[in-house]
Amino acid sequence: MSSSAIPVFDKTAQTTHLWLNEISEQIGLDDQQSWRVTTAVLHAIRDRLPVELAAHLGSQLPLLVRGAYYDQFRPSAMPSWVRSLEEFLQLIAEKLKFGRPVDTEDAARAVFNVLSRHLTAGQIEKVREALPEDVRAIWSAEPGTTDQRSMSH
């Protein structure tokens, strides 16, 4: 029996919990902390992408995650010119500064892995290619690994 009268709500809640559980398992956080990490990393990605690519990525996210992704979305300010992994991780750290301390690189990798597992490979590759090379180095198209091609340049 479903928990709501609208099946799409049940589906998005179930999918979101699956994503949060995967992140929790990777970096040892509870669901609330995993939600904050997911939102922070997605915002850092979104704000670095050209608007059209950001919208395409958003369209592939589960409905509940998509709502968080578009929270405080300002297309006129995009893309931000983050040029390094350090700057990218600082964007994430800024969003997480009031919660339990989290290693921002581990957080980014965990969300990248979930995206790579659940979204189309073509979409992931387009998003990765729009990010700075050293950010791509920690986001492999294969979950759980790093991109050795980017690290060797």
Work out the number of other CB atoms within 10 angstroms of the CB of residue 84: 12
Q: Under a CB-based contact definition with an 8 Å cutoff, are residues 130 and 81 in contact?
A: no
pLDDT digits (tens, 9 = 90+) for 25-66: 999 999 999 999 999 999 999 999 999 999 999 999 999 999
What's residue 99's pLDDT? 82
Q: Under a CB-based contact definition with an 8 Å cutoff, are residues 58 and 117 in contact?
A: no
Residue 79, preceding bond cis, omega within 30 degrees? Answer: yes
pTM: 0.87
Q: Kindly state the DSSP code that residue 51 receives in the 8-state scheme.
A: H
Provide the residue count of the chain: 153
pLDDT digits (tens, 9 = 90+) for 104-148: 999 999 999 999 999 999 999 999 999 999 999 999 766 544 443
Q: Under a CB-based contact definition with an 8 Å cutoff, are residues 110 and 140 in contact?
A: no
Q: Which two tokens stand for residue 41?
A: 């990393």
Q: What are phi and psi of 61, to 5 degrees?
A: -80, 150
Q: Which candidate, 49, 66, 57, places its Cα nearest to that of 123?
A: 57
